[in-house]
């Protein structure tokens, strides 16, 4: 079994934590949903919301359009700038998060095992006393892997970078659609906050798996925690696919609108 083979490679290096002992990796795991669901997206929106709309407001966008460069190339250049800024911000944030927690808690627990690639099936159970049906997640470990906690944390941060690229692309679309930077930022921010609240409150994700906000912490997809919480099989592949689709749709919509928009006479 993959679980047995994976576990055997790290079992001889594990130093168990005490029951009340905290580790850097536990703290990172607790912070990640809030960092990727709200804090980082707000920073990204603040930095990117005026990348197109700001130039439209100032009128400098017209100077770009009179040059012998296609609108698509201009927009792709600005989108690439948005992704670069997002990547740098995300890298700096996660580097600071990791360094701070290592200073506070040390490296203890780095080799603790973490299950990933856990599949789930779901069964309905009726509770006679409550007269309601509940859905129980049943984990399956036939294809699961066991990796050290430090590796899971680092890879989760890399996966989160993809999610932040999606936030950047949605914000970029908003900046393209609206001339006012405030409206652009407000629209993107409303989408992020609404999604964050929805994810915190919902208990059944079967009909909402297509929302980008559900997958902003792909590490939870990978570990199976998201599937267990939302009673739906939301694998890492599902999360990456949903985020990629949102990124692609945002970019294509921005390009289509920017090509058709009469900016020079606005």
179-210 confidence digits (pLDDT tens): 888 999 999 999 999 888 887 776 666 677 88
CA distance 168 to 161: 10
Listed by start position, the domains of the chain span 18-113+156-260
Which one, of 34, 259, 10, 218, lies nearest residue 117 by Cα?
218
User: In percent, how much of the chain has pLDDT > 90?
Assistant: 43
Prediction pTM value: 0.86
What is the pLDDT confidence band of residue 152, given thresholds at 50, 70 and 90? very high
CB-based contact 169:84 (threshold 8 Å): no
Nearest to 240 by CA among 211, 220, 204, 215: 215
State residue 7's pLDDT score. 45
Q: In a 3-state reduction of DSSP, which class is residue 181? A: helix
Tally of CB atoms within 10 A around 265: 5
- pLDDT tens across 36-89, in order? 999 999 999 999 998 888 877 776 766 766 777 788 888 899 999 999 999 999
């Amino acid at each position: 079994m993959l679980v047995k083979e994976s576990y055997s490679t790290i079992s001889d290096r594990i130093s168990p934590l005490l029951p009340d002992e905290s580790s850097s990796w536990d703290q990172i795991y607790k912070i990640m949903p809030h960092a990727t669901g709200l804090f980082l997206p707000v920073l990204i929106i603040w930095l990117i919301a005026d990348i197109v709309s700001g130039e439209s407001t100032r009128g400098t966008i017209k100077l770009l359009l009179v040059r012998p460069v296609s609108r698509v190339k201009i927009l792709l250049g600005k989108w690439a700038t948005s992704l670069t800024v997002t990547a740098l911000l995300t890298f700096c944030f996660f580097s600071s998060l990791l360094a701070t927690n290592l200073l506070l808690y040390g490296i203890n627990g780095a080799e603790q095992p973490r299950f990933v690639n856990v599949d789930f099936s779901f069964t309905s159970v009726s509770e006679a006393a409550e007269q309601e049906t509940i859905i129980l997640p049943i984990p399956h470990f036939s294809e699961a892997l066991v990796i050290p906690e430090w590796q899971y944390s680092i890879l989760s941060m890399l996966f989160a970078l993809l999610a932040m690229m999606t936030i950047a692309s949605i914000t970029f679309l908003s900046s393209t659609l609206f001339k006012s930077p405030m409206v652009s930022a407000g629209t993107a921010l409303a989408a992020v906050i609404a999604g964050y609240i929805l994810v915190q409150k919902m208990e059944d994700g079967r009909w909402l798996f297509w929302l980008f906000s559900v997958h902003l912490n792909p590490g939870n997809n990978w570990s199976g925690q998201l599937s267990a919480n939302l009673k739906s099989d939301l694998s890492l592949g599902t999360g990456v696919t949903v985020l990629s689709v949102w990124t692609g749709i945002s970019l294509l919509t921005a390009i289509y609108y920017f090509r058709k928009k009469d900016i020079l006479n606005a």
